[in-house]
Chain A
Amino acid sequence: MFAFAVGDSLVALDAVKIDTTDQARILRGGQHFQQTCLSCHSLVDFVNDPVAKELGLSKEQMPVWPEDSWNGHPPPDLSLIALSMSPDWLFTYLRTYYVDKARPTGYNNLVYPNTNMPNPFVDMQGHQVLINPNYFDKNHAHGEQFWYRVIKLKETGRLSPAEFDDYVDDIVQFLTYVSDPSVHARRQIGPWVLGYLTLFIMVTYAYFRLVGKDYFQSPKSPPPH
């Protein structure tokens, strides 16, 4: 999957496979989102969606931040984040926090350097630390190296690395759905419309070959008028 939108990531983005048909997974991601993200991030455009209803998301639960809170960087609404960034970006961003004493939150990020978002996964993921501190000095072309060449898990959290990747993956699947819920209807209607057009193309083309070709061979000029 390629996309033209990448922020100024310092590392290459991992690819994530989006499966919009896996409804159970989208719901699971939604539950994870409610547990770990909803305290700070809203999904305002999403509240009337059937999936939101199933999860019990409502407008009242959505946090509203004044412009000047969080030092002028309040947590943004994430209704369209998978489209304005990309699923790959999200998947890598959420997994590349590392310990950095210089930051007020104690953590920095490889994909979104100096992000103001505190690491939401400390207890699940554990701590990652820098193993290649010279990486930043060399002024690499953006996104040249994979993150695991730069940081490493030092202390495992509540989840194993594989479980944690799955957990984040679920959230990314959910946010991708949130960005464009029309995907279900599109997959449903698409084959019908295309099938109908195919049939129609075949009929009209056959008509042209059978009837039209003759006309071209012996064209009749129209009667004078």
Chain B
Amino acid sequence: MFISLLITGFAIFVVLNVLPYFKGVGAWIDRRLPIFSFLLDHLSYYPAPKNLNIWYAFGALAMVACAIQFISGIWLVMYYTPTAEQAFSSVQLIMREVPYGWLVRYVHSTGVSLWFVVVYFHIFRGLMYGSYKTPRELLWMSGVVLLFLLMAEAYTGYVLPWGQMSFWASKVIISLFSSIPVVGNDIVVWLQGDYEVSGVTLHRFFAFHVVGFSFLILAMIFLHIIMLHSVGSNNPDGVDIMKHKDRNGWPLDAVPYYPYFVMKYIPIILLYLFVFFVIVFYAPTFFGLFLEAENFERANPLVTPLHIKPSWYLSPYYAILRSIPDKSLGALMMLMSIVLWLFLPWLDLSPVRSMRYRGWMSRTALITVVGSFVLLGYLGLQPAVGWYLVMSRVATLLYFSFFLLIPILSYYDQDYVVPDRIPER
């Protein structure tokens, strides 16, 4: 796995360093298929603000995480059988009989969770440095769509091992579609392919997981990068580097992404792989958080588990759903908890991007929404009773109040003066 990643990295390195000088064949190919100039444009000629910090490694890490899922996923599909009778035992076949099958499966199951960790940090970076603000509105929105696709991909994948939680969690989520007016019930039947969640549903979700959402994610990442590279990266100071350019049109505060930031981020990517493999080798279930105990039991439509709970990365939304007494309204709010992020670029009225130069009001708003999200994540894994329920209602309220308050707070906040150039530190 990681060997193939290293080889890929090495190949890119060689291509970048050797081929531009390799006038004959390289130039011949490039005139017909501009692959080398494409790489050059997007790595060697990409002006990256010189103050990009570790937070800016998370985008690259998200791409690494994506690659890991695709590579391990291909190997899983070779042995996995998407039928109600065979699915559960085919996973055990992979774990026990296929040589290194356990490695591939644990890499894939650890990979999802860490992909979400990375993406949540990536989003936090965007919020902290105001990366959603003009001119990066569409880039931000493509990110929100990516988050949504990632959730759909994770959810359809979670159903595939056909354990108890696969079955019951899919039942709960599918039933939410029935609260859509008029067409709700038809959608449920279409999704299930049956009047119940059954083997047909499993096969359908297999198709969505392996071909449907995964390709949409790839396409969306591609657009994400295109958008990023046409408007350029923001930076921790939120300074617009395009204002000051040299005679060649190169921003004065920028350095080429390759080799400067590649050099800086490769140790970080390796550190990510280190953490990754500590989990794979020494705590693959991660104490029941990455692989839940209930899902080691074969799906049984006759026995409802004690607590139906989602994976940790979806639990904040689940907590919102449960904190609202009305199911249809709950489903709507769950959807809104992501959709509202699409409007953030227009809700935040401050002229300043980075939290480094923003006043206490905006900072408090950010801490509140992040804090309540984390709290919701914890509560979504607990039974919805007593204090847990009360707390999840408070947290839901806090979470949504962010969207109401941010226009006001950002308008009246006392911001600091943003420097014209990236300050030296």
Contact = CB atoms under 8 A, between A and B. Distances in A.
Interface of A: 2-5, 7-8, 45-46, 48-49, 79-80, 83-86, 179-182, 185-187, 189-190, 193-194, 197-198, 200-201, 204-205, 207-208, 211-212, 215-216, 219, 221-222, 224-225
B92 A45 contact: yes
B343 interface: no
Interface of B: 2, 40, 44-45, 50, 89, 92, 95-97, 102-103, 106, 246, 248-250, 254-256, 259-260, 263-264, 266-267, 270-271, 273-274, 277-278, 280-282, 284-285, 287-289, 291-294, 296-297, 306, 381
Contacts of B95: 180, 182
Contacts of A201: 267, 270-271, 274
A194 B263 contact: no
Contact of A208 (B267, B282, B285, B291): B267
Given A8-B306, A48-B97, A84 B293 contact: yes
A4 B255 contact: no
A194 B278 contact: yes
Contact of B260 (A49, A80, A215): A215
Contacts of A185: 102-103
B264 A4 contact: no
B76 to A, nearest CB: 15
A204 B255 contact: no
A49 B285 CA distance: 21
Given A4-B292, A5-B293, A201-B271, A221 B102 contact: no
Nearest to B89: A45
A222 B256 contact: yes
A143 to B, nearest CB: 13
Given A5-B294, A45-B89, A85-B293, A216 B96 contact: no
Contacts of B291: 83
Given A45-B96, A205-B267, A222-B256, A194 B277 contact: yes
Contacts of A80: 92, 296-297
A214 to B, nearest CB: 10
Given A48-B96, A194-B274, A200-B270, A224 B297 contact: no
Contacts of B263: 204, 207-208, 211-212, 215
A58 B246 CA distance: 77
Nearest to A182: B102
A3 B291 CA distance: 11
Contacts of B271: 201
Given A3-B287, A182-B102, A222 B44 contact: yes
A212 B281 contact: no
22 contacts: A3-B287, A4-B287, A45-B89, A80-B92, A83-B291, A180-B284, A182-B95, A185-B102, A185-B103, A189-B103, A197-B2, A197-B273, A204-B267, A204-B270, A205-B267, A208-B267, A212-B259, A212-B260, A212-B263, A212-B264, A216-B260, A221-B246
B45 A225 contact: yes
Contacts of B277: 190, 193-194, 197
A207 B262 CA distance: 12
A79 B294 CA distance: 14
